[in-house]
Amino acid sequence: MTTIAATDTPLLNAILARADDALVHAHRLSEWCGYAPMLEEDLALANVALDLLGQARALYTHAAEIEGAGRTEDDLAYLRDAPQFRNLLLLEQPNGDFAQTITRLFLHSAFALPWWTAAMRSTDATLAAVAAKAEKEVTYHLRHAAEWLIRLGDGTEESHRRAGDALERFWRFTGEMFAPEEPSLVASGVLPDPAALRPDWDATVGRVLAEATLERPRDGWMHTGGRRGIHTEHLGHMLAVMQHLQRAYPGAAW
Amino acid sequence: MSASLDLDGERLRRRALEVAGQVVDPEIPVLTIADLGVLRDARVGRDGCVEVDITPTYSGCPAMNMIALQIETALARADVPHARVRLVLAPAWTTDWMTQEGRDKLRAYGIAPPAPRASRRALFGMEEEVACPRCGSTETEKLSEFGSTACKALWRCTSCREPFDQFKCL
C-alpha cells in the first residue's frame, strides 16, 4: 500500500493544514447527505461541504506546486495517513446529532471568516486568491450555522439541551484554532496571526450564544496536536472510509 | 517572430475566445461562459498552442471540469486542435462579472439574477430584495440559502406562489 508524507517545510505544512481543515470538515458534513432532518438542510450541508471541498482542492494543488515533487491534489488527499494530516482536532470529531454538527460548523466558521478575510492580504498570491472566494463562501456558512444555533438554543427544552451539550463537547477543541503559527510565516505576511483574530471570534460567539440563550462554556484545558499530526482516534476511521477506493485500487482513475 | 505571424496569432486568439465564449454552463444551459464572466482570456503560445483561461465560480463548482472539456471539444471542432485550458484563481470571480445580457437570460429562464454589486450587505442577507423572475413581484421570501447547485438559493414568490431559484451573490 502506497503511503506518502509531504515534505516537511513550514510553508507546505501551513498550506496543507488549511487544505486538511477544509477536506476533513467537508467529508464530515458530506456524511449527512441523505440523512439530514429535512431536504433543504440536506442540500445546505452538502453545499457547504462542496464549498469546503473546492477550497481544499485549490489548496492541495497549491501545496503540490510548492512541494514540486510531482504530486497531485489527489495524492495529497488520498495517500497520506492520519499522522500526516494537519487539520484541527475539532473538525475530525464525529458528527453526533444535528445540534453537534451545527455547533462545530458555527465554532469553526466564526474563526474561518476572520482568518480568510485576513488571508486576502497574504503575500502568498495563491493563498490570497483562494481567500478572496473562501471569505464570501464562509460568510454564508457562518450565517447558516448561526441561524440554526439560535433556533436550537432558543427553541424547545430538548433542542436547547442538545445545543448546550454540543458546546460543552466541542469547547475543549476551540483553543487549537488560536495556537501560534510558525513565526516566520506570520512575519513575512503569508499567514494571519491567529491571536489577532481572537477578539473577532469572541465577539461573534458571544453575540450568537446570547441570542441563542446558551451559556458560553468556561475555558479550560484545550486539546491540541492536530497541526503536528497527533490526532484523536476518529481521524483514522474517517480516512479509512474516505481513502478506501485509492487504498483498495491504487491509482484508480476514470 | 514576424509581423504576419503575430497577426495570425491575434486572429487565432480572437477565434479561440469567440468559440470558447459560446460554451454553455452545463447546469444553466442558457448562460455561456462569456455571459458568466468565467472565460477570462486566451493567448497563443510560442508552440502555436492556444491557452484559454477560465476562473471557477464557487470554489467547489463541479461544472468546471465539464466546462474545460467542452472548451477543448469546441475548439477542436472549430479547427483549433492544439488548445489547453488553464484554471486561474486570481482575481477571484464575483457575480459582478456576469454581463447584463447574462442577467436578462437568467431571469427569462426562471432564475432570479444576483444583485448587481456583491456588496457586503447583500452577502449578509440584509435588506435583500429579490424580484420573482416570473411575475416581477418583490413580495418574495427565502426558503433556503442553499439550493440545487452551489451558486443558487431557494425562494418563493408570495404573489404568484411560484418557487424559484436565485443566483447568489459571491
Query: What CATH architecture is A10-248?
Result: Up-down Bundle (1.20)
Instruction: Give the bridge partners for B32, in sequence order.
Output: B24
The last residue of a domain, from among B60, B87, B114: B87
Task: Please indicate, yes or no, if residue B94 is contained in any of the structural domains.
Answer: no
B169 interaction partners in chain A (CB closer than 8 Å): 136
Cell numbers given for A118: 485576513
Residue with cell 502506497: A2
B40 CA: distance to closest CA in chain A (Å): 15
* Cβ atoms of A113 and A142 closer than 8 Å: yes
B79/B51 same-domain check: yes
Please state the pTM of the whole predicted model.
0.92
Residue B162's domain comprises 100-167
Question: Could you tell me which of B89, B44, B94, B58 has the C-alpha nearest to residue A65?
Answer: B89
Give the alpha-carbon dihedral of A132, A134, A137, A140, to 10 degrees.
-100
Task: Please indicate, yes or no, if residue B95 is contained in any of the structural domains.
Answer: no
B138-170, pLDDT tens digit by residue?
999 998 889 888 889 999 999 999 999 999 888
- The interaxial angle of helices A125-153 and A39-67, nearest 10 deg, is 160
Question: So what's the pLDDT on residue B136?
Answer: 93
B11/B63 same-domain check: yes
For chain A, the average pLDDT equals: 96
The last residue of a domain, from among B24, B52, B87: B87
B143 interaction partners in chain A (CB closer than 8 Å): 40
The predicted complex's ipTM stands at 0.84
Candidates A44, A133, A139; nearest CB to B92: A133
- Dihedral sign for Cα A124, A130, A136, A140, please: negative
A25-40, pLDDT tens digit by residue?
999 999 999 999 889 9
- Residue A229 pLDDT > 50: yes
B104/B125 same-domain check: yes
B8/B83 same-domain check: yes
The last residue of a domain, from among B41, B66, B87: B87
Which ranges of chain B have pLDDT less than 70?
1-7, 117-127
- Residue A3 pLDDT > 90: no
Question: So what's the pLDDT on residue A160?
Answer: 98
Cell numbers given for A69: 515533487
Residue with cell 458568466: B36
Candidates B62, B90, B169; nearest CB to A129: B90
- Residue A228 pLDDT > 90: yes
Candidates B56, B89, B144; nearest CB to A40: B144
A87-140, pLDDT tens digit by residue?
999 999 999 999 999 999 999 999 999 999 999 999 999 999 999 999 999 999
CATH label of the domain that carries residue B67: 3.30.300.130
Task: Please indicate, yes or no, if residue B93 is contained in any of the structural domains.
Answer: no
B93 interaction partners in chain A (CB closer than 8 Å): 133
Q: How many domains does chain B have?
A: 2
Task: Please indicate, yes or no, if residue B92 is contained in any of the structural domains.
Answer: no
B56/B28 same-domain check: yes
Q: Is B116 in CB contact (< 8 Å) with chain A? A: no
